[in-house]
Amino acid sequence: MQSTITILVALVCVAMAQVSVPPGYKERYPNHYPWAKNVRHARDVTWDRSVGNGKVFGTLGSNDQGLFGKGGYKETIFNDARGKLDAQAYGSRVLSPAGDSSHFGGKLDWANDNAKAALDISKQIHGKTTVDASAAGVWNLDKNTQFSAGGGLSHTGGAKPDVNVKAQIEHKF
């Protein structure tokens, strides 16, 4: 009986020790108390400015893994009866103790009322090129029948590409 009471008192003490924090501890050690309100604020700098027909965007910042910078340009090429075509060029640089890396790439996104398609090509400096392409569409054949199809391709330099295709006809009785 005494051992049960001793264990119960010990569990209550441990629970109280984990819940209570001495005064001034949060201010003195904000990194050791993750729920503190005054944890270091984010130091990222982000911008998004209109230039010509498009926008220049970017972010400079840091986290526990290192320093990073991302930037690019995006523009809508057309938005009319053909659909909407958006283009984007981007790049990033990461400096960290584990190693540095640089990436750049471009992306095209097209969509209209029935279909959409995307193409993204990126390259790591001194690394491999990655290509991701996808397309999907839905068309009404009559008032009760609908045809949908889609597919994608993902390829990272040197490896075999991953290809997927799906088509479906749906008829409502």
Closest to 128 in 3D by CA, of 151, 96, 161: 161
Say whether pTM exceeds 0.85: no
Distance CA 13, CA 7 (A): 10
Say which DSSP state 160 is in.
Answer: P
> What's the CA gap between 72 and 94, in Å, rounded?
15
Please check whether residue 146 is in contact with residue 139, taking contact to mean a CB–CB distance below 8 angstroms.
yes
* pLDDT value for 22: 63
Low-confidence ranges of the chain (pLDDT < 50): 36-40
Q: Which two tokens stand for residue 51?
A: 């230039």
Q: What is the pLDDT of residue 158?
A: 82
In the DSSP assignment, the letter for residue 64 is T
pLDDT value of residue 32:
60
pLDDT at 112: 95
| pLDDT in the model for residue 153 | 96
* Among candidate residues 128, 106, 100, 103, the one with its CA nearest the CA of residue 118: 106
155 vs 131: CA distance, rounded Å:
5
Q: Give residue 37's pLDDT.
A: 46
